[in-house]
Amino acid sequence: MNFRLFFTVSILSLFTLTAYNQEFSRAVKPYVSMQEGAVAITHAKVVDGTGGAIKTNQTIIFKDGIITHFGNDRDIQIPADTKVVDATGKTVIPGLVMLHEHIFYPKPADGFFSVAQMTFTFPRLYLAGGVTTMRTAGSIEPQTDLNIRKAIQEGKMLGPKMDLTSPFIERAGTPVPEVGVIESSDDAAEMVNYWSKRGINSFKVYQNVTKEDLRRVVEAAHAVGKKVTGHICSVTYREAAEIGIDNIEHGFFQSSDFVGDKIADFCPAFKRGRALSGLSPDSPEMKSLMDFLIEKDVAITSTLPVFEPYTDREIVLGGGLQAMSEDFQKSLTASHKRRQGRDSTSLVDFKKQMAWEKSFYEAGGKLLAGTDPTGAGRTIAGYANQRVIELFIEAGFSLATAIKISSLDGAKFLERANKVGSIEVGKQADIVLINGDLEADVSNIRKMEIVFKDGIGFDSQKIFESMKGKVGK
């Protein structure tokens, strides 16, 4: 027994050492700004991800990718041979853990809503935007996503740690040609079994599945210890929770629960939107649904950035227009101008959705954070992840809570909270250094300097700069 314990600890130590001292490819090396064995960040304002009080004059020390000390400057002795980073006037947060991301982007053609894989731009942009752990929440090229994850782990590509979700499990009726279609509930269960064996971490059902499809997916996924999420419509939130779904995407924007004459297993897309618009922010019907989701322990993923483009704000959220190819910059700018005057009612609904998410969280609900870089094409990896924090503040969350939802709460759902999601001794050094006081001005979230992943520092601004004009090519 002692030999087994020694062997296990030795292997884990070797893995940590190997991961920390790994060689990076020529594509990655230019963006590594710090790879010292031991680093101390001093004089920092720290939002630690736990939801606790924001702390000032803090020192964080990490060695070989693991946080070893965290506390007041005056209480911590910095060991010799430690690289010191003076964070005076700066803010430190944990690496973001985002739960609704994709490695694809919309590229409509001939009247079809189509999407295309962003293999080389999006992983880089996620890391530049402070995302050190992410879940893909649906794939159009699962084998590509598996290969990207492996390349990142091997130091051949830039990107975050990745939890991968299956291809969309969907019935006929989807408008997206890249999404496959199942013909039976047996097909749904077969997809779970097939992709489980190939390294996929979770499964996603889509808008036109039946209740029986969902039931079979949940049974098959839970049998192998994996979770199920859904962007649902044909199945209501209440029905999905009763069946045992673990997570529902897009806040309460997609709920068909309030359509009075809803037909079973059918998505009433237009009526759904009208029914939600008719509910008040303090609707007792919505509160009843929230209470049921909390009782059933169903997490809700907020994806405010994918809906914000319909409220007549920035052309690309978080200042991301510069990342787009020249053609996309022109088309998105023109599209934004055409939407002028149409967005006033959308803003009312957007604010109401914010209020519902806050009410759900304050009632004890599990709220997760994501961006979903699809929709109008104005939601871009990295930039939108920073925008998430700004939007949570606009919704009325405190900064400490906004960071917790976007880090530790996501890590808990992914069952990684013992390693990532907050700044605590013993956890992996996934840390973001921001050039400014985030508490004084949340827009400083856009001034990330260094994104540490397992203690290795990556130059955020250099990565962003390298991606200008690349997205959508």
Domain membership of residue 181 as a residue range: 96-413
443 in the same domain as 383: no
More confident site: 12 or 466:
466
Please state, in angstroms and rounded to a whole number, the distance separating the CA atoms of residues 462 and 30: 9
Please state, in angstroms and rounded to a whole number, the distance separating the CA atoms of residues 214 and 230: 9
What number of other Cβ atoms are within 10 A of residue 453's Cβ?
24
Residue 420 covered by a domain: no
What number of other Cβ atoms are within 10 A of residue 200's Cβ?
23
pTM (whole model) above 0.75: yes
130 in the same domain as 66: no
For residue 65, what is the domain's CATH number?
2.30.40.10
390 in the same domain as 440: no
Residue 350 covered by a domain: yes
Residue 378 covered by a domain: yes
390 in the same domain as 300: yes
386 in the same domain as 322: yes
**pLDDT value at residue 346:** 85
Total number of domains constituting the chain: 2
Tens digits of residue pLDDT in 179-237 = 999 999 999 999 999 999 999 999 999 999 999 999 999 999 999 999 999 999 999 99
Residue 120 covered by a domain: yes
287 in the same domain as 251: yes
Residue 8 covered by a domain: no
Tens digits of residue pLDDT in 97-108 = 999 999 999 988
Rounded to an integer, the average pLDDT of 330-355 is 83
**pLDDT value at residue 220:** 98
360 in the same domain as 331: yes
CB-based burial label for 424 (10 Å; 0-12, 13-18, 19+): middle
**pLDDT value at residue 20:** 55
The letter for the amino acid at 181 is V
Residue 3 covered by a domain: no
Going by pLDDT thresholds of 50, 70 and 90, the confidence category of residue 111 is confident
Give the DSSP H or E segment for 61.
strand 55-63
200 in the same domain as 71: no
253 in the same domain as 133: yes
385 in the same domain as 359: yes
437 in the same domain as 386: no
Residue 17 covered by a domain: no
361 in the same domain as 249: yes
Tens digits of residue pLDDT in 343-352 = 678 889 999 9
pLDDT over 90 at 19, yes or no? no
**pLDDT value at residue 344:** 73
